A and B are shown apart, each in its own frame.
Chain A
């Protein structure tokens, strides 16, 4: 099932939640919609599910215009952040709900078979007779998924599916959802504000901001080649350093560096975006003094990657760097020392286009 969103806009009073959004969701993909709160991602998801209606624009499911089709006829599996399980029904009854409300629905034994099959799929068949308030967050989320899957939805919409869970369960459920998606091959969209989650789970990531789409691409594409400064800042940590460009060389303060793949447009004052792991650290020696001189203010070395807080010697600007823990040890870096950094990769955005 492919989904086509054409020029959808939606405002709540004077607040424009979505402005002229167009997007195609390819068949069978797991897509993440990523953005800060208020970026319109949940509104767009609710419009797809028929829980909200756009002010203008059209929605197509497999070339069928469903813009004005009510929720119950859309055959869309919608899962909420807080699960929205029916508290007065057992787990079994929750999952069976979509099957029992049809007037000419399946027989009792067929329902039973289907529900138990789904519960097995989410590995919770032993909880069939529990009530929702006896379940953990992760279990509830899986039951909500099973309930949505019971009606053979054309695709799945998950609204912040891991939002209410603690870190450990989150990671587990993330992998599990990825696996489930591979088993079922169902087109799935999930909304999240957690970039790590989006980049790890999805085939395709759509980054949204202020009711508009900033970039669409695979996790690697959006991480390696952010299309806008917003995406750069939003996906992972980034240093934003004042720089100037002259004849293909980028200059930070008085330190010049040649950066490959950068255009020849000269720019006297601009901002360079540098990821913390794109900074190389070396010790100053008699023969080696090329690079920016910085002072190490703080070393956070819990885990395999050490995070260094650096301060430039020339203008005291703060720079974050991430280097392998091993390197910190082998260079014997200490807080308060002065070292040299080389920027291996920087990205400069010029007005509308990037170089």
Chain B
């Protein structure tokens, strides 16, 4: 907008109106058709039957369960990716080591791989018949067997607990959904931090060290405060993507009611011809997206005012 204003003062830089007008019309038309209209349709369709059916659809126990699961999954993915993302960015930008460029491109892998394929990979790795699944079965047997040998109740109990660890169901259960979502949304935090931390360099950390700070103190007192806004921005993007993830989650959830997230639940409702309910639930996701966008905008303006 400000760009347009300043262009008016520089007419010698402007093209004639018959070039500008069609170009502007194309852009605005595209935005309305592909971005604005679908959003409006979601809310219009959701409220088609009036406010009563809408509230009924939104407060349906299955919907609420899906919402709860979505929040648990996206919350877990965001926490994990914040930790991993900061660690990855920290080690990629503040240290020199062999294989650094390989690791950098590895971070982008989730962007390159189709989510459905990512989901399939996890089924193959963690599934009952998968690599770790069969290993887990052996593990379970081994520790169960060992536990049988020990009379000491504490050791017996501990070995059984360890064996039970291997028995945790991953695929077609909550852990699998969290793993898949975390994988898909991994790059958001790291990608946001790496360019910033690269331009910041390591002199602040070197200064802190020369003033007697340990690596731990340096991270909390010097590095983290200087990246906090970019980190928050990355977290918000990561969260938005985590809540909306469909492909990978669809594969690992196994299409059952208790492992339905909001996007899966919408598909289910739609396939059951419950259009109003489907749109009503979709409107929840859309609202979450809008809130995310507003937060993102606020942080972005803060980032700009800082710079």
Contact = CB atoms under 8 A, between A and B. Distances in A.
A101 B210 contact: no
Contact of B211 (A50, A80, A82, A98): A98
Nearest to A157: B210
A86 B212 contact: no
A148 B209 CA distance: 11
Contacts, number: 65
Given A87-B226, A88-B225, A88-B226, A101 B212 contact: yes
B166 interface: no
Contacts of B206: 49, 51, 71, 78, 80, 84
Contacts of B214: 72, 101
Interface in B164-211: 203-204, 206-211
A88 B206 CA distance: 16
A71 B209 contact: yes
Interface residues of A, number: 27
Given A72-B213, A98-B212, A80 B207 contact: yes
A144 to B, nearest CB: 8
- B contact residues, range: 10 to 19
A152 to B, nearest CB: 10
A50 B210 CA distance: 8
B255 interface: no
A101 B204 contact: no
A148 B204 contact: no
Contact of A148 (B203, B211, B225): B211
Contacts of A71: 206, 209-210
A87 B213 CA distance: 17
A74 B226 contact: no
A97 B210 contact: no
Nearest to A77: B210
A49 B210 contact: yes
B208 A51 contact: no
A151 B203 CA distance: 18
Given A84-B203, A86-B222, A88-B225, A76 B208 contact: no
A101 B213 CA distance: 6
Contacts of A86: 204, 207-208, 222, 225-226
17 contacts: A50-B210, A51-B209, A51-B210, A71-B206, A71-B209, A72-B214, A73-B212, A75-B212, A80-B206, A80-B207, A84-B206, A87-B226, A97-B213, A98-B211, A98-B212, A98-B213, A102-B212
Interface of A: 49-51, 70-78, 80, 82, 84, 86-89, 97-98, 101-102, 147-148, 150-151
